[in-house]
Structure 1
Amino acid sequence: MTVVTSTNGLKLRIVSSVISNNIFVTPDIVLTLPMKEYSAERKGALLCLRNDVESNLMSQDVCKIKQIIAKKFGCYYVADTCINRPIRMADRDIVLNTCLKEISTYQIIITDKLHMMIFCYLTKTPCITLSNYNYKIVGVYQWIKDCSYIKHIDKLDQLDETIEYLTSMSKEDRYSVTIDDKFDDLVKLIESV
């Protein structure tokens, strides 16, 4: 049996529960989508936090985050990456591009959601990630940690200075990372089948 995962944390869980010598760790495939830079002027802050059992934040933490953002930006927006309705296959690209375009209008996004971090990566939108109850966001962040406009923080007392750092960054200073070569083992595996 061969298993492919996007994080080392999941690899450890698989190794401890399944006997398999063939475990490949590769980036999340969504990271290979083309980068989309929209021409909209970036304004304000967006907060996209879990409000379910996967959240790692206490209510006082969320209040602290909101206070810091309100102090810096006056107001902020709240959004979710979940769309609670069926999306027809023919409409998926339109819905995704609409979402990416919206994300690209913000000066900064603060999130504990994996896909919001990935969407920020794809749109070169400055983003601060926070841990949630599992290892997914931190695990996928490891693939893009050298990207200049995505930063992960472990403690909320790092939030203020990280917001300052990311919002003062010029468009020219936003650089991503190349991860295409990280799929070489997976490509070899698929070709061998």
Structure 2
Amino acid sequence: MNLKIVKTSLRKLVSYFRKKAAWNDLKQIPKLNREKTLYLFGSPLHGNMGDQAISIAQIDFLNYYFPELYVKEIPREYWLYFRTKILQFIKPTDFICITGGGFLGDLWMDEEEFVLDILNSFPENKIVIFPQSIFFKDQKEKARFENIANHHKHLKICLREKKSYHMVYTGLDRKEDIHLFPDMVFWMKYEKNDIDTKKILLCFRNDKEKIIDTDIAEYIKNYYKSKNMNIKEISTVISGFVPLAKRNKSFLCTIHQFQSARCVITDRLHGMLFAIISGTPVLAFDNVSGKVRGCYKWVEQLPYVFCPDADDDFKDKLSLLLDCPPSTYSKNYLKNEFDSMAGLLSEFWNLKKKERD
């Protein structure tokens, strides 16, 4: 049999079973207690562990502050398969939130279109967009986003860094519905574990968000090799499909790489965040949208985190990383911000928030 035909048949078979699994999950919606159900749109099924970590953190955050609330996840893939059915299932009084991340704007148009479709499809629902970054190159696309967001009557948008916040704040009419909160991964915490004092993690992008010069990456490699360190190049993106049920296992494999490292050098936002929440010294370079340095501002006082701006010389930070001892990240560092976010949700959705010390 022709290899191309075999591959096509296998793809169709995989698609069939994924679609069947999605429907088996979705058909439970009519049985749920509507007063205690929140619909979380956009949970990832792909291998970006940053996005997966955001989903894990969001659900843990919601369970912490609203333990009586059941979170029903609806990945984008489910929406593409069964949009009509989902529209029938969800009523105007149901609560909706859209996952956080860095995909608002025209860098990642599939995700942007998904968010806009949700806003257009549920004009009466109270919708919260969890902390996001937003970036536009095309002003027409920016104007389209602003038009759709302005026409939604019950929308709260959370941004995770000031550059995105100011962009949305200046473009939308209802300023009181625009909020600045940390990336949800700051809600997580992991202890250092099995530290290899010789292991240096390099975690660099290879996509359209990358701006770091290749010569810089080579300089860093050569510097640490000269110090007899072991360089390990990794990514926060793994290959393949990651079903909701296997998300935690996949994420734990990734975070362990950071827990066990001597230090991390990265231009990925969640490369930086995974180092921060595991107490691992990190040097982070910015990306094209500015979200890395923007999110760094939440924790710039932490002594083991370095994120030089474009005019700073990074070279002296390489030795500082080696001098940094392992640290312990505390979720209390940004607890006030997360308390405020929970208060916003409580008031907006008229839900009782569990008071925590």
1:121 to 256, 267, 276: 276
Deviates more, 1:85-94 or 1:35-44: 35-44
Superposition TM-score, scaled by structure 1 size: 0.88
C-alpha distance in 2, partners of 1:37/1:64? 27
Change (3 A) 1:73 1:127: farther
Change (3 A) 1:57 1:112: same
1:57 equivalent to 2:219? Answer no
1:163 to 279, 298, 318: 318
Report how far residue 78 of structure 1 moved: 0.9
CA-to-aligned-CA distance 1:48-105 (integer Å, 9 cap, x gap) = 1111221112233333233323323454111111112111222211111121112222
Change (3 A) 1:33 1:75: closer
Note the 1:127-142 alignment, pairs <5 A: 127-142=282-297
Report how far residue 175 of structure 1 moved: 4.8
Where do 5+ consecutive residues of structure 1 fail to align? none
Larger Rg: 2
* 2:191–2:328 contact (8 Å) kept in structure 1: no
* 2:278–2:329 contact (8 Å) kept in structure 1: no
1:188 equivalent to 2:343? Answer yes
SS in 2 for 1:186: helix
C-alpha distance in 2, partners of 1:66/1:2? 44
Note the 1:89-108 alignment, pairs <5 A: 89-108=244-263
C-alpha distance in 1, partners of 2:228/2:310? 21
CA-to-aligned-CA distance 1:28-62 (integer Å, 9 cap, x gap) = 11111133321433322111111122111223333
C-alpha distance in 1, partners of 2:190/2:203? 21
Pairs aligned (count): 191
CA-to-aligned-CA distance 1:131-165 (integer Å, 9 cap, x gap) = 11112111111111111211112359733321222
C-alpha distance in 1, partners of 2:286/2:163? 13
Q: Percent identity?
A: 21
SS in 1 for 2:314: helix
CA-to-aligned-CA distance 1:151-191 (integer Å, 9 cap, x gap) = 112359733321222211233xx354510111233222111
Where do 5+ consecutive residues of structure 2 fail to align? 1-154, 349-357
Relative contact order, CA 8 A, sep 6+: which one is greater? 1
Equivalent position amino acid for 1:18 in 2:
L
* 2:198–2:230 contact (8 Å) kept in structure 1: no
RMSD, matched Cα: 2.0
Change (3 A) 1:130 1:40: same
Note the 1:147-158 alignment, pairs <5 A: 147-154=302-309, 158=313
Deviates more, 1:125-134 or 1:82-91: 82-91
Change (3 A) 1:161 1:136: same
SS in 2 for 1:76: strand
Note the 1:7-86 alignment, pairs <5 A: 7-21=161-175, 22-86=177-241
C-alpha distance in 1, partners of 2:257/2:287? 24
Equivalent position amino acid for 1:146 in 2:
Q
C-alpha distance in 2, partners of 1:26/1:2? 12
